[in-house]
C-alpha cells in the first residue's frame, strides 16, 4: 500500500525534530499532541496509516481515531524504525 501511495493517507505522529531526521515520503506530520485538534485534516473515508518511532504513539493515535469513527485507521507496527531496518535500509535511524 505504501509503495503505491494511491488510496492511503500516511500520518506521522512524531515530533517535528524526529521527522527532520527521517520520514516516509508523502507522510503528513501531525504530532500526537495535536491530533485531537487536527483530526479533521484526515479523510475518514480513506485508509490511514499512522506512524511513529517504534509504534506506541501511532497505536495511541490509531485507537483515538477509531474511537472518532475512523474505522480504516491502522498502525505501522514497529514504527519508522522497523521500516528503516526492514524496508528502506538507506533511511536514517535514531
**Listing from the earlier edge strand, what are the strands of the sheet with 48-51?**
28-29, 9-12, 48-51, 73-75
Distance CA 48, CA 62 (A): 9
CA dist 44 and 23 (Å) reads 23
Catalytic positions: 52
Amino acid at each position: 500500500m505504501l509503495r503505491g501511495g494511491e488510496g492511503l493517507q500516511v500520518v506521522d505522529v512524531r515530533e517535528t525534530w524526529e521527522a527532520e531526521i527521517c520520514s516516509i515520503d508523502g507522510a503528513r506530520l501531525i504530532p500526537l499532541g495535536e491530533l485531537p485538534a487536527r483530526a479533521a485534516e484526515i479523510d475518514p473515508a480513506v485508509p490511514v496509516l499512522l506512524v511513529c518511532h517504534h509504534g506506541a504513539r501511532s497505536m495511541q493515535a490509531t485507537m483515538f481515531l477509531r474511537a472518532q469513527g475512523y474505522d480504516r485507521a491502522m498502525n505501522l507496527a514497529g514504527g519508522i524504525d522497523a521500516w528503516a531496518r526492514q524496508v528502506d535500509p538507506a533511511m536514517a535511524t535514531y
